[in-house]
Amino acid sequence: MVCLGNICRSPLAEGILQSKVSTDAVFVDSAGTAAYHVGNLPDERSVEVARKYGIDITTQKARKFTVKDFDNFDVIYAMDDSNYQHIILLARNTEEHQKVKMVLNETQPDQNFSVPDPYYGESQGFEKVYKMLNEACDIIANNFIRK
């Protein structure tokens, strides 16, 4: 799960998806395309909305997406257009390019909708992001072995 800072959207996506699939079956992680917040905990507003739905994301620490992630992951979900462009520029071949998907295409196929960046907004923005990601992760989880 990849966003810009790895403190708002992608930590939520990681926590939500991991809550729906067995850790034995699927390894879920998140990263940011920018390094501003490397080593930081998720944003308190993401922590709060996750906690509200019974998910603890406080064990996560922000890291930057690297080209090695193409070796370690089968699917790479971008939260928005700009993350997507950034990641595909790092792809070394067609196979890697094809691993990159827009996460909301799970709920709205082929639309390339972006998860809005809630960083500069109000806490309702985090609730909205949670709901979008929860729906997308339901579909992703159904493709694996659900807990």
CA separation for the pair 97, 55 (Å, rounded): 31
Of positions 3, 49, 102, 137, contacts ligand 4NP by CB under 6 A = 3
User: Closer CB to ligand 4NP, residue 95 or residue 120?
Assistant: 120
Which residues on neighbouring strands pair with residue 32, listed in sequence order? 3, 64
Contact between 117 and ligand 4NP (CB under 6 A)? Answer: yes
SS3 (DSSP) at 31 = strand
- Cα-based angle 109, 98, 64 (whole degrees, multiple of 5): 100
The interface region with ligand 4NP, picked from 3-11, 84-92, 97-105, 131-139 by CB under 6 A, is: 3-11
Contact between 106 and ligand 4NP (CB under 6 A)? Answer: no
Strands 2-3 and 31-32: parallel
Which residues on neighbouring strands pair with residue 64, listed in sequence order? 32
The reply to whether 137 belongs to the active site is: no
Write each residue from 28 to 57 as x if it is in contact with ligand 4NP (CB under 6 A), else as -, in one continuous string.
Answer: ----x---x---------------------
Active site residues: 3, 9, 117
* Residues making contact with ligand 4NP (CB under 6 A): 3-9, 32, 36, 117, 119
